[in-house]
Structure formats: structure tokens, C-alpha cells
Structure 1
Amino acid sequence: MNQSALVWLLLALMLLAANLPYLSNRILLVGPYLKDKPFAWRALELCLLAALSLSAGMLFESHVGQRHPQRWEFYAAALCLFVTLGFPGFVWRYLRRGRHED
């Protein structure tokens, strides 16, 4: 697989991962079902999925060639991108559908 395809695959993976916490009422996506899962659980899931997505990006980068060292600015920008990609799920969960509506 070429580098361009890996970048698009990673962006699609990040888009899916960023919206999963808002689409599922299960704790950590596989745990027990909650009628109204608190936002703290969704934020924790978002952080964990962001770390998994960054790890996948590092794996893709090492697969293509040598992995470059990154500083804090890269991780701050990547986290902002991840949160931005999760905006459609946030809107659907809290703004469009309402907080307690299922």
C-alpha cells in the first residue's frame, strides 16, 4: 500500500474512532449498556481512542519508512484534529437529538 492510501486510511480510522464514543452507550464500547452514559465516560473513551489512533499512525509511519521524532506541538495538533473529527458525533448526541432522548 502506498503512502497516500495509508494517510487516507488513517484519516478514515480517526474519523470513525472520534465518533464512536458518542454513538455507543456501552462503557468503553464493550462494557455494560447504560441508559444515559455520563460525559466523563465519553471523554475518557475519546482520550483512549485518540491514543490508539496516534499509535496506529506511528505504526503506519514506521511501515512506510523511518519514524520521525515529534515534539509536543505535533501531539497538540493531532489531538485538536481528533476532537474536530469527533464534532459530528458530539452534535448528534448533545445538540441534535437532545441529552436524554434515545
Structure 2
Amino acid sequence: MFGDISGMMGKLQEAQQKVEETKKRLDTVLIDESSANGDLKITVTANREIKAISINESLLEDNEELEDYLILTLNKALKRAGEINEQELALAAKAGMPNIPGMDMFK
């Protein structure tokens, strides 16, 4: 009915391996984001791990402003990282999936 089951299982294992390799590669993809005025810079990986935060000394004088900039800039960076992460993992999974009739999971 589905053809070679062992061949499909092998394809599924390959797909899982591609996803794992992509996850490791995404640890090396860095995303830089800055606040609107450039006083705060944040670097995250595509796996949403914070790698660096650079704060201009002028922001250290106003805790509320610093907190606002941190929240806004971190959210922008993590949103971009999430989008890249989802796209790359979907591509890796799709590339390794066997062609099963009637199962169009990745349109």
C-alpha cells in the first residue's frame, strides 16, 4: 500500500538528522538588533540564545528607560530569531521527508 516501509523509515531518520544538523547550525547564526537610538545593542542566535548585550553608559542613569529599551530590543531580536529558526527547521524537515501519497504536510 505505501511501498517500501523500510525505505520510508530511513527517509524519516534522514529528515530527523537534517533537523538536528540545522539546529546545531542555527547556534552559529547571529542576529544583531539595536534600539531605535542605538544606545542598546543585542546579539542572539537563531536558536534564541542571548550572546551579547552592549549598553551605552547614558542608559545606566535611568533604570526605567533601560528596562524599556531592553524589553523592546530583546523582543525584536527574539522575534527575528524565531522566524529564522522556524523557516530553517521547516525547510530541513521538508527536504528529508519521504513522499507519502495524500500526506502533503508542508505546502
TM-score by length of 2: 0.41
- Structure with greater helix percent: 1
Computing the radius of gyration over CA atoms, which structure comes out larger, 1 or 2?
2
> Which structure is richer in relative contact order (CA contacts within 8 A, separation 6 or more)?
1
- Structure with greater strand percent: 2
